[in-house]
Amino acid sequence: MWCLRCGDCCTETEMLLSRGDIERLERNGYPREFFVLFDREGYAKLRNQHGHCVFFNVEARRCKVYESRPLGCRLYPVIYDEEKGIVVDEVCRAQNKFSEKLLERKGKKVLRLLKRIDAEAEGRRNMQQF
């Protein structure tokens, strides 16, 4: 639809993962150690390999797990900026293709996702499971 397949969003990604994202990718045969990196705060993030998300096929400029990709990837380029709130990521070359209505709709989903991810990270910190 609007994606230009430039791969900019998959370069040095810091995409957060929910428990559901991790479980879905594991069901597709990927071991957690391959694609998840836990930070000191208990947040699960997509691993990078050679400067790109581990699931990004550089030659084809496509996601290897597109149908199972994390929810944050599905909502991208709508992101939460700590200073500005919900915005379209300026990294995205197709950023001008988004209407205010789409930004608002996806923004609500981004906030719900972040709330869930925050709770999961807090649970890991409390249980020391990361």
Cα separation, 23 vs 36, in Å, equals 11
Query: Which residues on adjacent β-strands are paired with residue 46?
Result: 36
pLDDT string in tens for the chain (130-residue length): 578 888 999 999 999 999 999 999 999 999 999 999 999 999 999 999 999 999 999 999 999 999 999 999 999 999 999 999 999 999 999 888 888 999 999 999 999 999 999 999 999 999 886 6
How many C-alpha atoms does 119 have within 13 Å on its Cβ side?
7
Cα separation, 11 vs 1, in Å, equals 21
C-alpha dihedral sign at 38, 43, 51, 65: positive
Q: Is the pTM of this model over 0.85?
A: yes
Instruction: For residue 4, give Cα distances in angstroms to 11, 29, 51, 59, 73.
Output: 14, 28, 19, 15, 15
Q: Structural domain boundaries of the chain?
A: 8-127
